[in-house]
Structure 1
Amino acid sequence: MINDTSGNCEQKKRYIIGLTGPIAAGKNVAADILESKGFKILDADRIAHEILDSHKKQIIALFENDAQEAGIGLTHTDGSIHRKHLGQIVFHDRQKLIKLEHFVHPLVEAEIRKAVAEKPDTSFIVNAALLYKIPIVRDCDCILYISAPFFIRFMRVKKRDNLHFKYIIERFYAQRQIFTKCKKQNADIYRVGNCGTKKRLQEKIEAVLQSSIYKG
């Protein structure tokens, strides 16, 4: 990448960079920063949410009995999938989580690969908490892992989602090995701490881009 005097960047080549990290670490803030650098963002969570609604009949068929046993509904009044209730079902049972992932992840992978193929000259950021479970991770030039201390993440989730303490801990526990599993993929991984301001996070990301990724 070549920097000009205005602070904008011109890419010498196309990059596909994975962006991951645990819940409330700041992946979306990092994605906004990277988008301002000229990357196209592919948000796996957003794509998954769209898939849940576009395939809601299949989702309901997979988990309707579980929802009835729990005394909760799987849809909102407008017919869209109630993701919070679905999360209560799958995060309580590893096998149910695996069942959901086996349905959703291949569809997410297909949408991401379609987007990448349609714009061969565009650099992409694949933003995904469970990046290591999506095969495109093996095609990433590198992975940026956004991290933050437990307490900071806990307070962010509590403020943002107003979840019960138990559900927050369950989600934290489910994501406890993200960094270790990402390290096993065929890409360099760079840990970027996010416990300060957005400006400080941007400085850290820019430093990684310039010193490591674009020199590769």
Structure 2
Amino acid sequence: MDELSKYNIICVTGQMAAGKNYICSKLEKEDWQATDLDLTAHQAIEECKDEIISAFKGEAEKLGLGIENADGSINRRNLGRLLFKNPSLLARQESIIYPKIISLTKDFIAQNQKVIINATVLFKTPELLNLCDAIVFVKAPFITRLLRARSRDHLPLRQILHRFHAQKNLLKEYQKSGKPIIIINNK
């Protein structure tokens, strides 16, 4: 992937089960350092858990969902059930954790020279997207992605198809950034 050598910070993105992690692992063998924003979000959720519990506990209880585990950590599955059904609650959650995600990611960038930000929806944090020199968009055929998602995530077919549908215009969102886009077909 010589075409990436002129860049210092890239975003590796693509639809669910397209192979973003695989591409990141290949680039890490070429001295790139990757940060996975899904994992960063998990860290941010734990670091902001008191604020999250305060913000959503009442709504969760109305639905019979416990958003706090016995050990005091956030029950991300139940929190997701609550938030992804209600766009206004999701936006509220994002306003709580995005500043922390941005801070953690900037710290990672400051500590490394060749950085990959592995993120499906980095366009939702323009402050981080603006730091990227280019976008690597990973594509794979629908059936390949479907089989990978079923095998990897063990989710019901309906839930996978819902996520696929939600990500159908992902490339268009990144094209709006005006950043160079390198498309990798990962069959």
Q: TM-score range by the shorter chain?
A: 0.7 to 0.9
How far off is 1:115 after superposition?
A: 2.1
> Is 1:99 paired with 2:92?
yes
| Distance (whole Å) between structure 1 residues aligned to residue 120 and residue 33 of structure 2 | 17
Give unpaired runs (5+ residues) of structure 1.
Answer: 3-10, 196-216
Cα–Cα, structure 1 residues 164 and 51, in superposed 2: closer, same or farther, change >3 Å?
Answer: same
Please state whether the residue corresponding to 1:191 is helix, strand or coil.
Answer: strand
| Distance (whole Å) between structure 2 residues aligned to residue 28 and residue 82 of structure 1 | 24
* Paired position in structure 1 for 2:66: 73
| Distance (whole Å) between structure 2 residues aligned to residue 65 and residue 151 of structure 1 | 40
| Distance (whole Å) between structure 2 residues aligned to residue 171 and residue 76 of structure 1 | 26
* Paired position in structure 2 for 1:61: 54
Cα–Cα, structure 1 residues 189 and 91, in superposed 2: closer, same or farther, change >3 Å?
Answer: same
Higher relative contact order (CA 8 A, sep 6+): 2
Cα–Cα, structure 1 residues 158 and 137, in superposed 2: closer, same or farther, change >3 Å?
Answer: same
How far off is 1:128 after superposition?
A: 0.7
* Paired position in structure 2 for 1:130: 121
The answer on whether the counterparts of 1:91 and 1:170 sit within 8 Å (CA) in structure 2 is: no
From 128, 149, 163, the equivalent of 1:157 is 149
Please state whether the residue corresponding to 2:72 is helix, strand or coil.
Answer: coil
- Which amino acid counterpart does residue 92 of structure 2 have in structure 1? K
How far off is 1:124 after superposition?
A: 0.4
The answer on whether the counterparts of 2:7 and 2:133 sit within 8 Å (CA) in structure 1 is: no
* Paired position in structure 2 for 1:213: none
Higher Cα radius of gyration = 1
Please state whether the residue corresponding to 2:109 is helix, strand or coil.
Answer: helix
Give unpaired runs (5+ residues) of structure 2.
Answer: none
| Distance (whole Å) between structure 2 residues aligned to residue 70 and residue 165 of structure 1 | 24
| Distance (whole Å) between structure 2 residues aligned to residue 105 and residue 64 of structure 1 | 20
TM-score, normalised via structure 2 length: 0.87
| Distance (whole Å) between structure 2 residues aligned to residue 113 and residue 143 of structure 1 | 17
TM-score, normalised via structure 1 length: 0.76
Cα–Cα, structure 1 residues 164 and 73, in superposed 2: closer, same or farther, change >3 Å?
Answer: farther
The answer on whether the counterparts of 1:144 and 1:192 sit within 8 Å (CA) in structure 2 is: yes
Equivalent residue runs for 1:64-213 within 5 Å: 64-119=57-112, 122-134=113-125, 135-195=127-187
Cα–Cα, structure 1 residues 143 and 103, in superposed 2: closer, same or farther, change >3 Å?
Answer: same
| Distance (whole Å) between structure 1 residues aligned to residue 59 and residue 149 of structure 2 | 26
| Distance (whole Å) between structure 2 residues aligned to residue 73 and residue 126 of structure 1 | 32
| Distance (whole Å) between structure 1 residues aligned to residue 86 and residue 171 of structure 2 | 22
> Is 1:41 paired with 2:40?
no
Please state whether the residue corresponding to 1:146 is helix, strand or coil.
Answer: strand
How far off is 1:14 after superposition?
A: 5.8
| Distance (whole Å) between structure 2 residues aligned to residue 63 and residue 174 of structure 1 | 24
* Paired position in structure 2 for 1:205: none
The answer on whether the counterparts of 1:91 and 1:171 sit within 8 Å (CA) in structure 2 is: no
Identity of aligned residues (%): 33
The answer on whether the counterparts of 1:145 and 1:191 sit within 8 Å (CA) in structure 2 is: yes
